Amino acid sequence: MDVRRLSRTEAEAALDDLARLRIEVFHDFPYLYEGDIDYERRYLSTYMESAGSVIVGAFDGAELVGAATAAPLTEHFEEFAEPFAARGLDPASFFYFGESVLRKTYRGRGVGVRFFEDRERAARESGYSACVFSSVIRPADHPLRPVGYKPLDEFWVHRGYSRIDGHTTGFSWCDVGETDETVKPMEFWARQLPS
């Protein structure tokens, strides 16, 4: 497998592949994303328009099978920066990790670790020492929660990230089986990178 940072030209060429990959992976719990290519193009445009964005691709031959995104928090959606400003934290101090998506058959091979390492390296190169990301909050008794579901909390903690208690936002998408977008609660995780 080839895991590497994409050039701007490569990222733009892979936009629809990344959109389809997000739809496929986020269809599963906990995101339960119905999937819409127009929504994807709007969402992903933030990375195409951000001078500081990073997209890491995982390829099996020429096929994109995984991807991870990141950008300065101030260049992402306002819903993610606003809670930091509201707590007296300067959003310009944080590098925001968007999605890490990887097809199921490629998991367990260290690609997720590479996604974090490459984005943390990009953060350092851009002068950031703090990285953050968000994850959706679903109730433990959610009717679509699979039996034996294990959240990624342990993986994130092992990578040095901690949940920021009480620090949340809301972001909208259309759930599986629904026709209208609804706001989902999101929590934040952060890591101070070693110098």
Give the Cα separation of 104 and 87 in Å (integer).
Answer: 37
The CATH code of the domain that includes 21 is 3.40.630.30
CB 9 within 8 A of CB 38: no
CB 95 within 8 A of CB 106: no
Q: Quote the number of domains for the chain.
A: 1
Whole-model pTM: value is 0.94
Banded model confidence at residue 28, pLDDT cuts 50, 70, 90: very high
Banded model confidence at residue 185, pLDDT cuts 50, 70, 90: very high
**Cα 79 to chain centroid, rounded:** 14
CA quadruple 82, 86, 87, 88: dihedral, nearest 10: 100
pLDDT in tens, 111-124: 999 999 999 999 99
pLDDT in tens, 48-68: 999 999 999 999 999 999 999
CB 96 within 8 A of CB 71: yes
Nearest Cα residue to 69 out of 50, 84, 85, 82: 50
Q: Which tokens is 130 given?
A: 């703090």
Domain that holds residue 35: 2-192
